A and B are shown apart, each in its own frame.
Chain A
Amino acid sequence: VVEAVLARFRAIPENLKTPLYIIGTFILAYLLIEYTPLIDPIPPIWQQQIVNALSLGGLYALIAIGYTMVYGVLQMINFAHGEIFMLGAFAGLWVFNQTTDLHDNAAGLVILMAMIAAMAWSGICALALERIAYRPLRRAPRLVPLISAIGASFFLAQLVNVILRGRPQPVPRVFPEGSIQIGDAEVDYIRLFLIVMSFVFMLALFYFIRLTRTGKSIRAIAEDKDVAALMGINVDRTIQITFLLGAILAGAAGVLYSLFIPTLTGTMGFIPGLKAFTAAVVGGIGNIPGAMVGGYFLAFAETLGVQAAFEIDPELGAEASGYKDAIAFTLLVLVLIFRPYGIFGEEVGKKRA
C-alpha cells in the first residue's frame, strides 16, 4: 500500500511537487495555529521544539539552496558558500551598527536595510569568488575547483577573523521582543519572522526559477551545458546569476541568523554551511525543492532527536545536545549510504548516476 502511494506520488510532475510541499506545509501550519486542540495532546515542550525546528529548518533551507543550485549548473560543491553566508551576516551587522538611532523607532526599516545590504554584499562577494577562484578552473579536472573552493573558504573565514583581530563582534538586539502563543508554544516574534521570511524567499526563488526566462536558462544549463550554449544561452552569465541567487538567499539567511546569536565571528559560517550542505544532500543535490525539504528534515531530526533523548533520560539529553552536530553528519553518512541521491532526488539522481 505504501509502495502504491509512493508510486502515485512520484508520478506527480516535478514542477507541481514543490508548490504541493509548500502548500502542504502552510496548511499544516495553519492547522497547528487555528485548531490548537489538534496539537493539544502534544506536550508543550514538543510544540516548542517544533517551532524551533521550523525556524532552524528555514535557515538551513535558505543556505542549502545555494549549494544545490551551484551544484546543479557546475557539478561542483561551492565550499565557500558558508562564508558567503557569514559575509552577509557581517554586512547586516554593519547596517545595524550604522543605524543605532533608529533601532527603537524603526526596527523594521533597519532590518529591511540590513537584509538588502547583506544580499547585495553577499552577491558581490559571490560574483567575485566565481570570477577569481572558479571560472579559470571551469574545465580543469574535478579535484582542482574543489580544492580551490576549500582554499577560498578558509581564506575568507580567516581573513575576517584576522581583520577583526579575532574578537567576536556583538550583535545589537534590534528586533522587538515579545511573543505570541500558539498552542502551548511561546513563539517569539523573531522566530515567527524567520519562519515567514524563509518561506517568502523560498517561494520567490521557486517562482523565479519556474517562471522567468533566466530561471529557464538555469534549468537548461543544469540539464546540459553544451546544448544550452548551442540554443543561444549565455552560459557564463547564467552561471553568474546562479551564484548571485544562491548568495542573495545566503545573505538574507545571514541577517536572519544574526538576529538570534549574540556574536559574529569569521568562522561562524562553517558549521551552518556544512549542515546546509547536508540538507542539500538529504534532499538530493541539484534539486532545489529537495534542498528546501532537506533543510527542514535536518532541522527536525536534530531538534526532535535531542528532545527525544531528553524524554528518555534527562542525562542522556544533556549528552545528546553535545552531540547535536554529530547527528547531522551521521545523518549525512547514512543518507549517502542508503539513498545516495537524497530522499527526494530520484529523478535528478537517475540522470546523473
Chain B
Amino acid sequence: MSTGGGDFYDDNWGRFVNSLRNARHAVGSAIASPFRGVRPALQPLVDRWVSLDPRVRVLWALIPTVLVLLFPQETTSNPQAFSLIGVGLFLLLGAISPVTTLVLLIVAVLIVINMREVPSELFSSGPGEYPLDTGPEILLIILPVAIAVAYALHVWKGADFRMLCAILVLASLPLTLALGPSAEPRTFVLFLVAFNILLGLGLNVVVGYAGLLDLGFVAFFAIGGYAWALMSTEATGGDFAAPLGIIDANFWIITIVAVFLAASVGVLLGIPVLRLRGDYLAIVTLGFGEIIRIIATNADGEGVPGNLTNGVFGIRQIGNPNPFPEIDLGLFSIGGELISHSEAFWLTMVCALAVGFVSEQLRNSKVGRAWEAIREDEEVAQGMGINTVHYKLLAFGMGAAIGGLGGAIRTSHFSAVTPADFQLIVSINVLAIVIIGGMGSVRGVVLGAFILAGIPEILRDVTLKSIVDGGMNIFFLHFIPGLPELGEALQAGPVWIVENLPDANLLGIADKWGLAQKQGQELRLMLFGLLLVIMMIVRPQGLSPSPRRQAEVEMIEEEKAEEAGEAAGFHEGALGEPVGGDLQQPEPSPGSARYRSETE
C-alpha cells in the first residue's frame, strides 16, 4: 500500500486526508493483531499456546465456551451479550488464523442478529410475543462444534477449512430457523441482510464490473415488484381489481416472468443510453427511476394508462404462493401456505449465492475481461475490437434482471407494493453497499451488506449497558460456580457502574440530541452521503476490493505521487497547486501491477 501519499497533497487539507489514511492503517493493524500490546509480557505463554497441536488447542478452547453455553440462560439479563461473550472466548482462545477469526466473527454477527428480538409490529403475520427459546441457543452450541469439527477435519484429512466452515455454518442455520415460531421474527434481519446482498450483487455487475454508474436501480426493483404483484394478486381491499391476477399462481413462473420483464426494460433503456458517456448514464438512470415512481403514483385509473398500479395506495393483499414444496418432519417443516421469514431468507440466500457464483464466473471469463477493459478505458477497449455497447448492455441487463428478482422476492414476502417503497433511497442504499464493500468484489458486497443492513439492525437494541450488565452477570454468576453468594457480593461493587451507564441505543442517543425517531431514514440517508464522500477521499477502492481494482487505485496513486513530485519542482509559486496530467483515464500498460493475476 502506498502510504506515503503525503507528497502529493502539499497543503493542510491534504495533510488532514493523509492523517485520516494513516489513522486507518493504525486501526487496521490494531485489529489485525490483538495481542500486539501485551505480546512482550505474554510472549512465552503465547508461544507455548501456539506450539500446541492445533487439535488440542481447539479442544482447550472449546471447554470454557461450552461451559458458558451450558449454563442456565434464564439467569442472564442479556442473552445477546451472553452469546457474544461465548463466541468471543472461543475466538480469543482458539485464535487460529486471521481467516478463521473472520469467519467466526461473521458467525458471531449471525448469532447476534438471530438473537435479536424484533418488535412484532414489523410483521404482517405471526404471533405477537417472541420470548427467546431454544432456536438460537442451540445454534450457539452447534456452531462452535461445527467449526471445531471443520477444523479437525482440516487438520486430519487436509480438507479446505474455509469451505467446510461455510458449509457447516450454512447447514446449521436452518436448524435455528425452523425451530418454532419464536425464531421466526429474528430471521427477518437475516432476510434483510441476504436481500441486500442480492441487490448489491446485482448492482455490482453494473457498477463494479462494467463501471457504469446506475443510479436508477430502484426502477428495475419496482418493475419486478409491480409485475409480480399484478400477476399474483388475489384480491385487493378496495375497488381495485388486478388486471392480470392469477389465483394460485406458481411462484417460479411469476418470478421468472417478472425478472424477464425487468431485464427487457433494462435492455430497452440501455440501447439508446449506453452509447453515451458514463456521467450521462448516471443522470438518465436517476431520472428513469423517478419516472417509474411517478408513473406508479399516477397510473391510478383516472386517466391515460388505466388503473395499473392503484396509485399511491398501491397493491395490497397480494397472494404469496410458497416457492417450496411442502415437507413436514415435525421439528423441521417448510412449504406451508404462506412464505415465512426463514423461507424468504433461504430463497434470497440461494438466489444470492447463485448470482454471486454466476457473476464470479462471468468476471473470470471473456465477458468479464471485456467489462474490465471497458471500465478502464472504453476507447482503447473499442480499439481492441470489443463491442462495447454489446457488453455494456449485457451488464446493464443483468443488473436489471437481478433488480427485478429482488423486487419479486420483496413483493412475494411483504404482500404489498406502494410507490413509496421505491424511492431513490433504495438505489443509494444499494450503491453504498457496493462502494463501501469494494466495487467489483463479491466479498465486498457481502461485507457491505452486513455493515449497512445488518449492523444498524443489531445496534438498534444493543446498548452499552446491556453489554456490560450481561457480561458482569456471566462473570460473577457463572465463573465462580458454587459460590453465587460470593459472586453477588463481588458484583455489588461495580453494580453502580452499570446503573450509571446510558441505557440508550443509537436511536435513543439520536433522540437525546433532539432528533425524532421518525427521522431515522433522513439520518440514515445523511450518514450514507457522508460515508460515500469519506470513502471516496480515504479509500476509493472499498473495504474489501477486488485485487484488480486495488492495484488500479494504487497505481493511480503512485503515478499521481510521481507526477506531483515532478510537478512540484517544476511549477513553483505562481501556479499554485501542481497540475496533473490527464490522469483521469490511466493509460494501461501491460505488465504493470494492474495486470497481475487474480489471487483469490
Binding site for B on A (CB under 8 A): 75-77, 131-133, 135-148, 150-159, 161-162, 165-166, 225-226, 229, 232, 234-237, 266, 274, 277-278, 281, 315-316, 318-319, 322-323, 325-326, 328-330, 332-333, 336-337, 340
* A229: contacting residue among B213, B515, B537, B575, CB under 8 A: B575
Quick check: B215 and A150 within 8 Å, CB to CB? Answer: yes
A326 contacts across to B, CB distance below 8 A: 290-291, 294-295
A336 contacts across to B, CB distance below 8 A: 272-273, 276, 280, 284
**With the chains together, A270 CA to B576 CA distance in Å?**
34
* A138: contacting residue among B275, B284, B435, B580, CB under 8 A: B580
**With the chains together, A287 CA to B580 CA distance in Å?**
25
Quick check: A152 and B302 within 8 Å, CB to CB? Answer: no
Quick check: A147 and B585 within 8 Å, CB to CB? Answer: no
Quick check: A158 and B586 within 8 Å, CB to CB? Answer: no
What's the least CB distance linking A26 to chain B, in Å?
32
Q: Which residues of chain B (271-285) have a CB below 8 Å from chain A?
A: 272-273, 275-276, 278-280, 282-284
B428 contacts across to A, CB distance below 8 A: 150, 154
Quick check: B576 and A235 within 8 Å, CB to CB? Answer: yes
Quick check: A333 and B288 within 8 Å, CB to CB? Answer: yes
Stretch at the interface among B57-65, B146-154, B259-267, B526-534: B526-534
What's the least CB distance linking A169 to chain B, in Å?
15
* Given known contacts A141-B556, A232-B574, A225 and B579 CB-to-CB distance under 8 angstroms: yes
Quick check: A161 and B13 within 8 Å, CB to CB? Answer: no
* A234: contacting residue among B282, B575, B586, CB under 8 A: B575
A236 contacts across to B, CB distance below 8 A: 576-577
**With the chains together, A141 CA to B582 CA distance in Å?**
10
Quick check: B574 and A318 within 8 Å, CB to CB? Answer: no
**With the chains together, A156 CA to B518 CA distance in Å?**
19
Q: Which residues of chain B (411-440) have a CB below 8 Å from chain A?
A: 428, 431, 435
**With the chains together, A165 CA to B294 CA distance in Å?**
26
* Given known contacts A166-B522, A316-B303, A141 and B584 CB-to-CB distance under 8 angstroms: yes
* Interface status of B317 (Cβ within 8 A of chain A): no
A-B pairs with beta carbons under 8 Å apart, 24 shown = A131-B13, A137-B540, A139-B556, A139-B560, A141-B584, A147-B213, A148-B537, A150-B428, A151-B532, A151-B533, A155-B530, A158-B522, A165-B516, A166-B518, A236-B577, A277-B283, A319-B304, A323-B298, A330-B291, A333-B288, A336-B272, A336-B284, A337-B272, A340-B275
| B contacts with A: majority SS | helix
Quick check: A158 and B540 within 8 Å, CB to CB? Answer: no
What's the least CB distance linking B276 to chain A, in Å?
6
Which A-chain residue is minimally distant from B510 (CB atoms)? Answer: A162
Quick check: B13 and A139 within 8 Å, CB to CB? Answer: no
**With the chains together, A226 CA to B579 CA distance in Å?**
7
What's the least CB distance linking B8 to chain A, in Å?
9
**With the chains together, A12 CA to B596 CA distance in Å?**
53
**With the chains together, A53 CA to B288 CA distance in Å?**
24
Quick check: B576 and A234 within 8 Å, CB to CB? Answer: yes
Q: 0/1 per residue, B280-314, Cβ < 8 Å to A? A: 10111011101100110110001110000000000
What's the least CB distance linking B227 to chain A, in Å?
20
Quick check: A281 and B283 within 8 Å, CB to CB? Answer: yes
**With the chains together, A135 CA to B533 CA distance in Å?**
12
What's the least CB distance linking B381 to chain A, in Å?
15
B275 contacts across to A, CB distance below 8 A: 340
Which B-chain residue is minimally distant from A71 (CB atoms)? Answer: B279
* B533: contacting residue among A155, A157, A329, CB under 8 A: A155
Q: Which residues of chain B (154-173) have a CB below 8 Å from chain A?
A: none
* A329: contacting residue among B14, B290, B531, CB under 8 A: B290
What's the least CB distance linking A234 to chain B, in Å?
5
Quick check: B288 and A329 within 8 Å, CB to CB? Answer: yes
Which B-chain residue is minimally distant from A275 (CB atoms)? Answer: B287
What's the least CB distance linking B438 to chain A, in Å?
13
**With the chains together, A328 CA to B286 CA distance in Å?**
12
Q: Which residues of chain B (456-495) have a CB below 8 Å from chain A?
A: none
Quick check: A315 and B302 within 8 Å, CB to CB? Answer: yes
The 8 closest A-B pairs by CB, nearest first: A151-B532, A319-B303, A155-B529, A154-B529, A158-B526, A329-B287, A148-B536, A337-B272
Quick check: B276 and A234 within 8 Å, CB to CB? Answer: no
* Given known contacts A137-B537, A142-B584, A165-B515, A159 and B526 CB-to-CB distance under 8 angstroms: yes
Binding site for A on B (CB under 8 A): 9, 13-14, 17, 207, 211, 213, 215, 272-273, 275-276, 278-280, 282-284, 286-288, 290-291, 294-295, 297-298, 302-304, 428, 431, 435, 514-516, 518-519, 522-523, 525-526, 528-533, 535-537, 540, 552, 556, 560, 563, 571, 574-577, 579-586
Quick check: A165 and B514 within 8 Å, CB to CB? Answer: yes
Which B-chain residue is minimally distant from A271 (CB atoms)? Answer: B290
17 new A-B contacts at CB < 8 Å, known A236-B576, A336-B284: A139-B583, A141-B585, A141-B586, A142-B584, A145-B536, A146-B279, A158-B522, A158-B525, A161-B519, A161-B522, A162-B526, A235-B579, A315-B303, A326-B295, A328-B287, A329-B284, A336-B272
Quick check: A281 and B280 within 8 Å, CB to CB? Answer: yes
A155 contacts across to B, CB distance below 8 A: 526, 529-530, 533
* B540: contacting residue among A131, A140, A157, A235, CB under 8 A: A140
What's the least CB distance linking B397 to chain A, in Å?
18
Quick check: B579 and A142 within 8 Å, CB to CB? Answer: no
**With the chains together, A151 CA to B533 CA distance in Å?**
5
Quick check: B290 and A136 within 8 Å, CB to CB? Answer: no
B303 contacts across to A, CB distance below 8 A: 315-316, 318-319, 322
Quick check: B581 and A146 within 8 Å, CB to CB? Answer: no
A139 contacts across to B, CB distance below 8 A: 556, 560, 563, 580, 583-584
Quick check: B560 and A136 within 8 Å, CB to CB? Answer: no
Which A-chain residue is minimally distant from B549 (CB atoms)? Answer: A141
B560 contacts across to A, CB distance below 8 A: 139
Quick check: B279 and A140 within 8 Å, CB to CB? Answer: no
Which B-chain residue is minimally distant from A79 (CB atoms)? Answer: B282
What's the least CB distance linking B208 to chain A, in Å?
10
A274 contacts across to B, CB distance below 8 A: 283, 286-287, 290
* A162: contacting residue among B280, B515, B581, B584, CB under 8 A: B515
Quick check: B522 and A232 within 8 Å, CB to CB? Answer: no
B540 contacts across to A, CB distance below 8 A: 137, 140-141, 144
* A148: contacting residue among B287, B532, B584, CB under 8 A: B532
**With the chains together, A154 CA to B523 CA distance in Å?**
10
**With the chains together, A67 CA to B278 CA distance in Å?**
16
Which A-chain residue is minimally distant from B286 (CB atoms)? Answer: A274
A166 contacts across to B, CB distance below 8 A: 516, 518-519, 522
**With the chains together, A142 CA to B302 CA distance in Å?**
44
A234 contacts across to B, CB distance below 8 A: 574-576
Which B-chain residue is minimally distant from A150 (CB atoms)? Answer: B532
Quick check: B575 and A232 within 8 Å, CB to CB? Answer: yes
**With the chains together, A24 CA to B280 CA distance in Å?**
31
**With the chains together, A10 CA to B272 CA distance in Å?**
27
**With the chains together, A237 CA to B523 CA distance in Å?**
34
**With the chains together, A334 CA to B57 CA distance in Å?**
67
What's the least CB distance linking A345 to chain B, in Å?
13
Quick check: B582 and A76 within 8 Å, CB to CB? Answer: no
* B287: contacting residue among A138, A142, A333, CB under 8 A: A333
B529 contacts across to A, CB distance below 8 A: 150-158
What's the least CB distance linking B578 to chain A, in Å?
9
Quick check: A137 and B536 within 8 Å, CB to CB? Answer: yes
Which A-chain residue is minimally distant from B540 (CB atoms)? Answer: A144
What's the least CB distance linking A271 to chain B, in Å?
8
Quick check: A146 and B213 within 8 Å, CB to CB? Answer: yes
What's the least CB distance linking B403 to chain A, in Å?
18
Quick check: B302 and A318 within 8 Å, CB to CB? Answer: yes
Which A-chain residue is minimally distant from B282 (CB atoms)? Answer: A146
A316 contacts across to B, CB distance below 8 A: 303-304
Which A-chain residue is minimally distant from B536 (CB atoms)? Answer: A148
Quick check: A340 and B276 within 8 Å, CB to CB? Answer: yes
* Given known contacts A139-B580, A147-B536, A165-B514, A322 and B280 CB-to-CB distance under 8 angstroms: no
Quick check: B530 and A151 within 8 Å, CB to CB? Answer: yes
**With the chains together, A277 CA to B535 CA distance in Å?**
26
What's the least CB distance linking B169 to chain A, in Å?
33
